[in-house]
Amino acid sequence: MGEHLGEQLGEQKMAKNKLTALGVKAAPDGKLFDGAGITLLKKGGGGSWVYRYSHSNKRREMGLGSYPQLSLSDARKARDKWAAVLSQGLDPIEERQAQQDAKEAERNRDDPTFEEMAYIVFEAKKAGWRGDGSRGRWLSPLEQHVFAKMGQKRMSEIQKADIHHVMKPIWKTMPPTAKKAIDRIGTVFKQARLMGIPCDPFSVDAARHMLGVVIHRHTHIAATPWQDIPDLYNRLSSHSGSTLCLRWIILTLVRSTGSRGAKFEEIDGNIWTVPADRMKGTEAGVTSFRVPIPAQAVEIARICGETSGDFLFPSNRGGKGISDNAIHQVLKKHGEEGRPHGFRTSFRTWAQDTDQPWDVAETILAHSIGNKVERSYARSDLLDRRRIVMDKWAAFVTGEASNVVKLRG
């Protein structure tokens, strides 16, 4: 209380003899009072201007700016501005904060940071992706390699050099990831430009050019040669959930995600309908898929049915299908380098080498055939024709076929 009273008396005294620009410059360090609430806290040739006032019976101090960047004259003008706000019954500090918040909100809307814009684009596009984009992890390359270095930059501030700097560390060491990342950056810039955000999508192309050409040879998923599938199938002889699931994948040729989540309610006799949410494709383009399961797969379903539950291959944790890691561990145990997805390649090569109908083999793998117009007319899922080929495949896999030449090359 005594300190405030002393300062008030000092202010009153100085009010009779207000500061001058030269006087401020020549004054020693300390508190300099100009009256009407203005105080300069001077130290070492610099200082800070403070506006002192009372609001709701509370004494408050509001920083106006630094000296000498803010002159005495400008400090008085700033004081007058906020004194006018105070005269309206408003608290100058709270009012200034509200104005700053509004300005920041407007800036975020008109010129968001790259990270903000990336999430805006993700939210706008995810409805067309499987699992709202979570399955493909669209944001992952940006979260891992871009946001930390460029995420807080405003879209209008980002230049080709910034993008080049972000991408350079992974451009040659992680080509597939780098390509995904720069493609995502390009998508963000193009969408931002369409929304009227000040940015230049050409910066992404320029950065790509600066990074140079990278020759990356794609490594295919390891696939078991089709001639070796019967031996592998025979070795997968236990009745564990993960082993039975691998046999199921080999026989049905449905991708791992679709097979691991298989439920008894999806099977009607010898037809298994895989729901759309476990099929590969865009949200708008994917549909459920009927699979004519061969007798050997029906037997697997019967064995699985001896245990209770909704899933053919339940997880130990319950409530969902077996994990991808669980079936990979079985392959590792057997020393098999081929991956579950590679069984589809094994089948496709077998189909080529044994002259199975091309369109049937492609349909078995749930691949699209023909262009959009052709597919709009050819709507059959070739169920009966697929059953013939899948029965042949199952007979070969289980060693029941004797009329298939086992080619090796």
The string of pLDDT tens digits covering residues 124-156 is 888 766 555 555 588 999 999 999 999 999 999
**CATH class of the region 2-107:** alpha beta
The string of pLDDT tens digits covering residues 276-335 is 888 875 544 578 899 999 999 999 999 998 876 899 999 887 778 899 899 989 988 988
- Ranges 46-50, 209-213, 257-261, 279-283: which has the least confidence: 279-283
Q: Is the pLDDT of residue 399 over 60?
A: yes
Q: What is the mean pLDDT of the chain?
A: 85
pLDDT band at 96; cut points 50, 70, 90:
confident
Tokens of 323: 């994990």
Residue type, 71: S
**Equal CATH topology for 2-107 and 226-397:** no
- Say if residue 302 is exposed, middle or buried (CB neighbours under 10 Å; 0-12, 13-18, 19+): exposed
pLDDT band at 347; cut points 50, 70, 90:
very high
What mean pLDDT do residues 358-382 have?
71
User: Taking the CA atoms of the chain, what radius of gyration do you get in angstroms?
Assistant: 35
**CATH class of the region 226-397:** mainly alpha
Task: Beginning with the edge strand found earlier in the chain, give each strand of the sheet holding 30-35 in spatial order.
Answer: 30-35, 38-43, 46-55, 58-67
Q: Domain 114-211 classified CATH 1.10.1040.20?
A: no
| 8 Å CB contact between 246 and 236 | yes
Helix (H) or strand (E) holding 31: strand 30-35
In 199-288, DSSP assigns E strands to 267-268, 271-274
Whole-model pTM: value is 0.54
Residue type, 28: P
Residue appearing with tokens 């451009």 = 171
Domain limits, the chain: 2-107, 114-211, 226-397
The string of pLDDT tens digits covering residues 41-76 is 999 889 999 999 999 889 999 999 999 999 999 999
126-129: long-range contacts at Cβ-Cβ below 8 A with a sequence spacing of 24 or more?
127/283, 128/282, 128/283, 128/284, 129/282, 129/283
